Amino acid sequence: MTTLIYSHKACLEHDPGSYHPESPDRLRAVLAQLSLPEFAEAERREAPRADLDEVARIHPRPFIEAILGAVPARGHAALDADTVLSPASGEAALRAVGAVCAAVDAVMAGEADNAFCAVRPPGHHAEPDRAMGFCLFNSVAIGAQRARQAHGLERVAVIDFDVHHGNGTQAAFDSEPRLFYASTHQYPLYPGTGGRDETGVGNIVNVPLRPGAGSSEFRRAFNEVILPALDDFRPDFLLISAGFDAHRADPLAQLMLVESDYAWVTEQLAACAARHCEGRLVSSLEGGYDLEALASSAAAHVRALMAA
Ligand SMILES: [Zn+2]
């Protein structure tokens, strides 16, 4: 039994522009770190391309076709001020979805204990009918629905420790009591959602953190709020929206986490998965914009997955 790492070269070719923080160098930095000898036992797999029926588990067909139709043959096409397409963007987004779905399948088949998807673009801001915040398709939300619809699982949880609130995942889940979404995030911050009073049908748990909050506030949020709620939910499968932009070095936000916080939260979530669902856990990369902090934090996360 092992940890799988999914990626695809198209995820390096999606390029929103030379001044954009969501750069191919992010994934290059993560993959370089994961190529170190300590990660040699993690099995590498190429992400398949998701077919459109898979994406349609969350996004309406006309939306999917509009996004793929907006991909430029050359140069760039902006969907909004933040969300920019290049010629490889459609392929990258479909490989990111494909990575999470293949990882869910592999873990369900018992081919591995858990998996990390080293992919971009990220997905957690993508609402069912709206791409935004660097995100095109909501890979983790799609993977959650795949676990239920293709594998017959009853309850699936997504935990999101990216510094931004996953408005897209919340929007996809908030009327479905068998899907659970919990997030820690800086507040106020983009995208402006994620207040404590946003609770869906009792299946959404938001813990906003003030700018400057660090390890103790983050761990308290998990120990006192998120982990107890997750235990009450009793997931049959756990997914993680793993953004590393709450690191103290990150230029896009003002939380103060360090690598050991990412190791800690990963250990807690793996232990929760062990309690409820035989350890079934799939994580996918979301944000993280300081290259060095991103790489070392993702390494801490994968190291903890491998030790689970
Ligand atoms: Zn983020």
Residues 205 and 139 sit within 8 Å (Cβ to Cβ):
no
SS3 of 242, please?
strand
- Round to whole Å and give the CA distance between 157 and 138: 14
Residue 286 Cα to ligand 1 middle (Å): 6
Whether 165 is a known active-site residue: answer: no
Closest CA to 283 of 242, 233, 235, 224: 242
pLDDT digits (tens, 9 = 90+) for 29-68: 999 999 999 999 999 999 999 999 999 999 999 999 999 9
Q: What pairs with residue 172 in β-bridges?
A: none
Residue 7 Cα to ligand 1 middle (Å): 19
The end-to-end CA distance of the chain, in Å, is 11
pLDDT digits (tens, 9 = 90+) for 145-166: 999 999 999 999 999 999 999 9
Residue 287 Cα to ligand 1 middle (Å): 4
- Round to whole Å and give the CA distance between 67 and 145: 21
Residue 134 Cα to ligand 1 middle (Å): 9
Strand pairing report for 84-85 and 77-78: antiparallel
Q: What confidence score (pLDDT) does residue 207 get?
A: 98
Q: What confidence score (pLDDT) does residue 10 get?
A: 98
Q: How many CA atoms lie within 13 A of 271 on its CB side?
A: 10
Q: What confidence score (pLDDT) does residue 1 get?
A: 63
* Number of neighbouring beta carbons within 10 Å of residue 258: 18
Q: What confidence score (pLDDT) does residue 4 get?
A: 98
- Round to whole Å and give the CA distance between 205 and 210: 16
∠ Cα 90 96 99 (to 5°): 140
pLDDT digits (tens, 9 = 90+) for 242-274: 999 999 999 999 999 999 999 999 999 999 999
Residue 245 Cα to ligand 1 middle (Å): 6
**Out of 8, 59, 124, 125, which one is annotated catalytic?**
125
3-state helix, strand, coil in the chain (%, to 5): 40, 20, 40
Residues 266 and 4 sit within 8 Å (Cβ to Cβ):
no
Burial 129-165 (b: 16+ CB within 10 A, else e): ebbbbbbbbbbbbbbbbbbbeebebebbbbbbbbbbb
Residues 210 and 234 sit within 8 Å (Cβ to Cβ):
no
Residue 249 Cα to ligand 1 middle (Å): 13
